A = this chain, B = another copy of it.
Amino acid sequence: MEIIRTVAWMKEYARAARAEGLVLGLVPTMGALHDGHTALVARAKKECSRVIASVFVNPKQFGPKEDYNKYPRDIEKDAEKLGAAGVDALFAPEATDIYPDGFRTYVNVEGISERLEGRSRPGHFRGVSTVVLKLFEIVQPHFAYFGRKDAQQVRIISEMVRDFNLDTEIVVCPVVREPDGLALSSRNAYLSGEERAAATVLARALVAAKDELAAGMRDVLQLQDVLRRVIEAETLASLDYAEIVSADTFEPVVRVSRACYAVLAVFVGKTRLIDNLYIEPKAQGADEFTFRL
């Protein structure tokens, strides 16, 4: 596996690979890799002849009071995992190369970026969409792989790709979970033993909502009550938000009648975790749904 440390080198590497007719897949990460990330790499390996993973803890997507400085970093361990997973090139640039002096150009996917995660984390999605556009310009991948755990992020990036006429296809991959349901996240490393046990509350809340949906509940206020009651019963957890939103706009809906997400953000101790349930009509306009946790 080649380890590429500069933007100029990455551009040249990607240009040469495209010129050879290879199909380029990009797996953008912030490092601290877990099996969710390696699942993205495995999917990319199936569909692409050249797989590039990026590891870049993007300062622009952290708020001033967030965990940018303490976000877990271990580039050697990440490189080992990516090499073992069959990645061809690891792109690990410096922040000063991605954001040189005087940097001042940003992507804003308006509306959706201000909701939910965007409301709790002002500026977060401006940082995400900007760095993802830059990665796409540097690598020009045919495919880019994202996990559905960050459902709103995936929706924002897909909208950006459409609106900006980009040639990269976004591939959305399933959430990877621990056996007890906890969605894999680099931030799970912050949890104490007790908090780790409590953290299953997100998946438990989503399963409870899924069960009620399967039993016929469609009213969003009722469903949100189901989510909240599970969270509130867990003493180490405190709710940031629990909503049922349109899968297209991430705006609230009143009744589940089309593709939706149940989305959760919960503090477990001081660690903020997110998770979601995808709710999809079995057929267009149908009142029966399939669920993806």
A interface vs B, CB < 8 Å?
7, 11, 100, 102-112, 129, 133-134, 137-138, 159-160, 162-167
Contacts and interface: CB of A to CB of B under 8 A. Distances in A.
Nearest to A112: B104
B105 A160 contact: yes
17 contacts: A7-B165, A11-B165, A11-B167, A104-B109, A104-B110, A104-B111, A104-B112, A104-B163, A105-B163, A106-B110, A107-B107, A108-B108, A134-B163, A134-B164, A137-B164, A137-B166, A137-B167
A158 to B, nearest CB: 10
Contact of A107 (B7, B102, B106, B166): B106
Nearest to A98: B165
Secondary structure of the A side of the interface?
mixed
A138 B165 contact: yes
A159 B105 contact: yes
Contact of A105 (B11, B108, B137): B108
Contacts of A159: 102, 104-105
A53 to B, nearest CB: 18
Contacts of A163: 103-105, 134
A180 to B, nearest CB: 38
Nearest to A126: B108
A261 to B, nearest CB: 17
Contacts of A165: 7, 11, 134, 137-138
Which are the 4 A-B pairs with shortest beta-carbon distances? Answer: A105-B163, A137-B165, A104-B110, A105-B109
Nearest to A156: B105
A110 B167 CA distance: 26
Nearest to A7: B165
Contact of A106 (B11, B103, B108, B137): B108
Contacts of A167: 11, 137
Nearest to A161: B105
Contacts of A164: 105, 133-134, 137
A103, A112, A162, A163 interface centre (most CB from chain B within 10 Å): A163
Given A103-B163, A104-B109, A105-B129, 13 more contacts: A11-B165, A102-B159, A104-B111, A105-B107, A105-B110, A105-B159, A105-B164, A106-B107, A106-B108, A106-B110, A107-B107, A134-B163, A138-B165
A24 B123 CA distance: 36
A181 to B, nearest CB: 34
Contacts of A102: 159
A148 to B, nearest CB: 21
